[in-house]
Amino acid sequence: MPVLHTGRRRSNQNRSYNGPARQGPVRHLSVAQLNLERVYEQNRLNVQKRDGANAPEPAPGTAAKGKPRLLLMGQRRSGKSSISSVVFHKMPPNETLFLESTARIQKDAMHSFMDFQVWDFPGQLNFMDPSFDLDAIFGEIGALIWVIDAQDEYHEAINRLNSTILNIYPNYPNVNVEVFIHKVDGLSDDYKLDIQRDIMQRIQDELSDHGVENAPINFHLTSIYNHSIFEAFSKVIQKLIPHLPTLEALLNDLCRACRFEKAYLFDVLSKIYIATDSSPVDMPSYEICSDYIDVIVDVSEIYAWPRPPEYIQLLEGPPWNKKLEDQTACNDAESCIVLTDGKRPIMLREVNKYLALVAIMCEGSYEKMPSVTMNVESTVKGLTEVFNITRQRRE
Amino acid sequence: MDQMNSLSIHDDPVPSPSSEPRKQKKKKVLLMGKSGSGKSSMRSIIFSNYIAKDTRRLGATIDVDLSHVKFLGNLTLNLWDCGGQDAFMENYLSQQRQHVFSNVGVLIYVFDIESRDFDRDLLTYRSIIAALSQFSQSASVYILVHKMDLVVPNQREDMYNDRVSLIRSKSDSFDPTPFATSIWDQSLYKAWAEIIHDLVPNLDQIEKHLGSLGKLIMAEEVLLFERTSFLVVSSWSSKGIITSDKDQPAQNPTYDRNERLSNIIKNFKQSTSRYTGTPKSAEQFSVFDLKMPNFCMFLIKFTTNTYLGVVLPPGEERFNAAKLNCYIARTHFEDLDSPARKSADRGVSGDSGELA
Ligand SMILES: Nc1nc2c(ncn2[C@@H]2O[C@H](COP(=O)(O)OP(=O)(O)OP(=O)(O)O)[C@@H](O)[C@H]2O)c(=O)[nH]1
Ligand SMILES: Nc1nc2c(ncn2[C@@H]2O[C@H](COP(=O)(O)OP(=O)(O)OP(=O)(O)O)[C@@H](O)[C@H]2O)c(=O)[nH]1
Ligand SMILES: [Mg+2]
Ligand SMILES: [Mg+2]
């Protein structure tokens, strides 16, 4: 069932008193409930030693069969498990204080618009140990996310990152290395940039000393206490999406046709955006669109209770004499809010079970909503087709 | 009044001079309770768009913080947030006794559930009640047993009932209405929505009209929000959601939905305020539409002091007709909201920019 329709809450717990709420709209869910929603498997890593020193094949491209993997690595307590819990399991950031150190690799399988896996590594694990089958780890990798705690001493973290890159680069040159300079909440903007420059420099120097130039390494400033971690993940995941250029072209066309300021295609549950039009991404527009999804999910949770069949019959009887679904123009979630400031509307349209299109429209365009809706309709059709093709290929 | 401190954090809605109503009604509301019980916190959340976390920054209130909140139905609330430190309390009960306790419409008394000396709190409460019965016999009294989040969930109910019965027994001839509240969930909105519901003049008339509007547009629910606090001051639910049992129409099973909706919207207003750079107290949006496969709803800026929310069954035609009808009904409700304003200076679409 799409989250947008039913909200997140699945329990029928006693609601006479709803306990302390957290910041943001009140939610009533435990991690356990969420795990049900997004089938959450945690397999034990079963590291097999493979015989022989077989030369690993080059890493398959992202569109290859199988599920792309996001590997979260870095020093102990750098924040890997926190990131995975906040982004993929909706854990409120302050609850990560109670996370225990990870003892073995945690594998999460995400079944969303595309299936992918997130592997959360224990910080102390030395996977360069010859007993590890590198191919089993890096063979189907989508991205290697290296988390560095920016509030801590980071030289050791960089040394390990460098040796990791040097170790895997010869065999897996296509691996995207994404460095998350993490926990930047509380750091001043200047200081953040200084750290970033310093870290980039140290990595580049070391790698070029070893003759590695132009390795695909990207840097992100992140924190679980704001939207930056979602933004960073959005950028990482976009690189794994087949047909991304097609999706972007569709969004560009839509923005041009409807004079949208900005359009995002969101994964509703994680609130990662998987594609956007080509105008520059700015945090404020991402945040407002992301928060708007929360509003829709939370409001739906309250009002989407199942109506009795007798009532529905009445609504489908005279004078309408039509099935309810034929009385609506669109059978997916649709919403719009007009901000008083500049009369700018923000619109949301469900694309499929997992995805929603959220866009910031231009000033005063609420009156043009009917024609906007038509354009959106055809964009949604295009997007759905792209995803259907991708799925068929996979199967 | 001159000894009153107004170190207040309020950002009251600023009425434009032309709309200054002639027949203004004022209600004096005393907010009392011991220091640290959470009075200023709740006031800031309800009327000044604070989020719960922000209240940690509040300092103790010195003497009385006075704020005027313009409300629907031509009502102005004079909210007296009375600092609860002993020295101030003694002062209210002695030198300022008449000044503080005369002409009181409502007393809201806050008890901190975590207080270590409940007996002492009760004694203070008794003295306040005594002063109130001396000067404002007809005032209504609400007691909020507050910070319920600090109690383990399975003890909440017992502890609350316990406290309430003791408090009741010390309330003289007043019959206080009790609430269990916390700033960390929607229970605070529930309490204040009911208090405000009781305060609004013409409310019975407004409710009657809401009901007829609801029936006319075939709504499932109609909600009237006060615009500053975004509390639901009045709501109507259809009895037409029929089931197999003719005498038992169905109801939305989420009983605390109004508070929850207030909470959701108020939180989103924080986001929009950040996004647009406009103050949180400004009206952040004028229309919100939502169409889902099994219901649809809209929220619109309605009268000067209100927003209207409507929940409907799905269907394009019903939705459009309902919205149109609500805009038409707007003028009519405007008269109930602020009767003194001339209908002439309110255009149907000229609803922006009236906030300073
Ligand atoms: N200030 C701040 N703290 C964070 C952030 N992300 C994580 N933390 C904190 O960092 C601590 C360690 O987090 P974990 O997620 O357990 O670290 P880890 O990398 O999984 O550690 P191992 O499992 O031991 O390798 C926790 O107390 C988190 O609350 C962040 O963005 N900002
Ligand atoms: N846990 C919890 N803390 C609360 C709640 N309400 C308020 N607080 C906290 O209580 C502290 C004191 O709150 P205030 O609102 O300043 O107390 P006050 O009653 O105005 O105190 P005086 O002005 O001295 O009379 C603040 O740090 C609030 O964050 C609540 O429901 N739960
Ligand atoms: Mg961990
Ligand atoms: Mg105070």
Average pLDDT over residues B144-159: 93
pLDDT of A371 above 70: yes
Residue at A223 is within a domain: yes
- Whether A251 and A225 share a structural domain: no
pLDDT of B81 above 90: yes
Backbone angles phi, psi at B342, to 5 degrees: -80, 140
Asked if the Cβ–Cβ distance from A288 to B182 is below 8 Å, we say no
Asked if the Cβ–Cβ distance from B297 to A303 is below 8 Å, we say yes
Of B149, B250, B292, the CB nearest to A19: B149
Residue A333: other Cβ atoms inside 10 A: 24
What pLDDT does residue A44 have?
21
Give chain B's domains with CATH numbers. Answer: 2-19+202-353 (3.30.450.190), 25-197 (3.40.50.300)
- Number of folded domains that form chain A: 2
Alpha carbons A385 and A390: distance in angstroms, whole number: 9
- Whether A92 and A182 share a structural domain: yes
**Mean pLDDT rounded to a whole number for chain B:** 86
Q: How far is CA B238 from the centre of its chain?
A: 23
Residue at A179 is within a domain: yes
What's the B332 CA to ligand 2 centre distance in angstroms? 41
Helix, strand or coil for residue A175?
A: coil
Exposure string of A182-217, with b = 16+ CB inside 10 Å and e = fewer, is bbbeebeeeeeeebbeebeebbbebbeeeebeebeb
CATH number of the domain that residue A253 is part of: 3.30.450.190
Least confident residue range of A165-169, B174-178, B253-257: A165-169
Question: What is the sign, positive or negative, of the torsion defined by CA atoms of B350, B352, B355, B356?
Answer: negative
- Whether A203 and A350 share a structural domain: no
- Whether A221 and A311 share a structural domain: no
Least confident residue range of A36-50, A210-224, B10-24, B146-160: A36-50
Asked if the Cβ–Cβ distance from A23 to B264 is below 8 Å, we say no
Backbone angles phi, psi at B305, to 5 degrees: -110, 10
What pLDDT does residue A6 have?
55
Residue at A114 is within a domain: yes
- Whether A251 and A318 share a structural domain: yes
CB A119 within 8 Å of CB A69: yes
Mutate to test the interface with B, among A13, A307, A358, A377 (most CBs of B within 10 A): A307
Residue A215 binned pLDDT confidence (cut-offs 50, 70, 90): confident
Nearest CA to A208 out of A169, A236, A160, A157 is that of A169
Judge if the beta carbon of residue B149 lies within 6 A of ligand 2: yes
Residue at A43 is within a domain: no
- Whether A179 and A250 share a structural domain: no
CB A111 within 8 Å of CB A391: no
What pLDDT does residue A90 have?
83
What pLDDT does residue A343 have?
77
- Whether A316 and A360 share a structural domain: yes
Phi-psi region of A95 (alpha: psi -120 to 50; beta: other; left: phi over 0): alpha
In the block, residue with structure tokens 């809010």:
A337
For B39-67, write each residue's pLDDT tens digit.
Answer: 999 999 998 888 888 899 999 999 999 99
What pLDDT does residue B23 have?
55
Residue A378 binned pLDDT confidence (cut-offs 50, 70, 90): very high
What pLDDT does residue B145 have?
97
Contact partners, residue A230, CB within 8 Å, separation at least 6: A87, A270, A271, A272, A286, A290
Judge if the beta carbon of residue A97 lies within 6 A of ligand 1: yes
- Whether A162 and A285 share a structural domain: no
Residue B339 binned pLDDT confidence (cut-offs 50, 70, 90): low
In the block, residue with structure tokens 């997992």:
A354
For B235-251, write each residue's pLDDT tens digit.
Answer: 999 999 998 888 889 99
Say what the ipTM of the complex is: 0.81
For B153-162, write each residue's pLDDT tens digit.
Answer: 899 999 999 9
What pLDDT does residue A32 have?
29
Residue B24 binned pLDDT confidence (cut-offs 50, 70, 90): low
Residue B17 binned pLDDT confidence (cut-offs 50, 70, 90): very low
- Whether A144 and A111 share a structural domain: yes
What pLDDT does residue A21 have?
33
In the block, residue with structure tokens 């609350």:
B160
Point out the domain boundary residue: A208, A238, A268.
Answer: A238
Atom of ligand 2 nearest to the CA of B37: 19
Domain boundaries, position A275: 244-389
Alpha carbons A60 and A260: distance in angstroms, whole number: 37
- Whether A110 and A252 share a structural domain: no
For A217-242, write each residue's pLDDT tens digit.
Answer: 999 999 999 899 999 999 999 888 87
For A93-132, write each residue's pLDDT tens digit.
Answer: 888 988 999 988 888 888 777 788 899 988 877 666 666 6
**Distances in Å between the alpha carbon of A15 and those of A256, B99, B254, B276?**
47, 43, 9, 36
Query: Which residues of A are less than 8 Å from B277 in CB distance?
Result: 341
Higher-scoring residue by pLDDT: A34, A345: A345
Residues with CB under 5 A from ligand 4 (ion): B 39-40, 61
Point out the domain boundary residue: A238, A259, A291.
Answer: A238
Least confident residue range of A3-7, A65-69, A209-213: A3-7
Alpha carbons A390 and A247: distance in angstroms, whole number: 12
What's the B160 CA to ligand 4 centre distance in angstroms? 23
pLDDT of A4 above 80: no
**Mean pLDDT rounded to a whole number for chain A:** 79
Residue at A1 is within a domain: no
Residue A110 one-letter amino acid: M
Q: Is the minimum CB–CB distance between A315 and chain B shorter than 8 Å? A: yes
CATH number of the domain that residue A199 is part of: 3.40.50.300
Residue at A29 is within a domain: no
Point out the domain boundary residue: A238, A260, A292.
Answer: A238
Give me the numbers of helices (H) and strands (E) for chain A, helices first please: 12, 11
CB A79 within 8 Å of CB A149: yes
What pLDDT does residue A130 have?
63
- Whether A216 and A274 share a structural domain: no
pLDDT of A57 above 50: no
Residue at A158 is within a domain: yes
Contact partners, residue A140, CB within 8 Å, separation at least 6: A59, A60, A64, A66, A67, A68, A69
Residue at A9 is within a domain: no
Residue B112 one-letter amino acid: D
Alpha carbons B165 and B346: distance in angstroms, whole number: 49
- Whether A227 and A256 share a structural domain: no
Residue A9 binned pLDDT confidence (cut-offs 50, 70, 90): very low
Residue B348 one-letter amino acid: V
